[in-house]
Amino acid sequence: MPAPARHHTPSIPPSPSDELRELLGSRDQDPFSPEEAIDEQIAQLEAWAWANVRAERIDGLRFWGMRVLAFLGVVGAAVGAGMQQTELAVGSGVLAAFAIVVDTAWPATGDRIARRRAVHDLRELQHSLRLKWDKVRLCHPNPNAPKRVAHALVLLDQIHAKREEIGRYLGEASPTVQQSHD
């Protein structure tokens, strides 16, 4: 037999857990759970980390690709000139010049270090979040327990704060991001 419902007197404010219990009274009908919220945040953190890794790889390929093309062009021009092959020397020289012009016109991003730091911080946040959430699940096995939901809300607030911090230092490091000063 369930325990009788606790009635609140208007002069005593309800405790936060009682308020949470009232708010979550209909949790059984809600398909969105703390599990899904945490899993969704972990997936978003992973996507953000992967986007930073991908941008770093593209920058690295561009950086080294242009330099390798320029080097090969210079070597080809030197070999062509040494062998009296004018077409090879001129073509290789044009290739080297083109690679140098493209590399110079395509500015390098100054946020490589910030992106590496962001990837590290995002992965660390993911691992920390998984560990903390596993602890919550062990302490509160009932998926609809008010304390479990309260812990999920605290974790979501921590994620939000860390994401803002990471976004701030990425924005400060990136030369292409303009911040409005209204």
pTM over 0.85: no
- Of 163 and 178, the structure prediction assigns the larger pLDDT to 163
Percent of the chain with pLDDT over 70: 75
Res. 177: pLDDT tops 60: no
| HEC letters along 72-140 | HHHHHHHHHHHCCCHHHHHHHHHHHHHHHHHHHHCCCCCCHHHHHHHHHHHHHHHHHHHHHHHHHHHHC
- Asked if the model's pLDDT at residue 126 lies above 50, the reply is yes
User: Which residue do the tokens 């290739």 mark?
Assistant: 95
| 142 pLDDT above the threshold of 60 | yes
pLDDT exceeds cutoff 60 at 88: yes
Range 135-139 average pLDDT: 91
Of 18, 3, 27, which is closest to residue 143 (Cα–Cα)?
27
Q: Please compute the mean of the pLDDT values over residues 63-67 and round it to a whole number.
A: 90
Distance CA 148, CA 153 (A): 9
Measured between its terminal Cα atoms, the distance across the chain in Å is 60
pLDDT of residue 32: 67
* Nearest of 37, 25, 50, 23 to residue 159 by alpha carbon: 37
pLDDT tens digits for 5-23?
A: 444 444 444 455 555 555 5
Classified as helix, coil or strand, 149 is: helix
**8 CB-near residues (< 8 Å, 6+ apart):** 14, 18
Which residue did the predictor score with more confidence, 30 or 41? 41
CA atoms within 13 A on the CB side of 67: 7
Q: How many CB atoms lie within 10 A of CB 90?
A: 13
Check residue 56 and give its pLDDT: 87
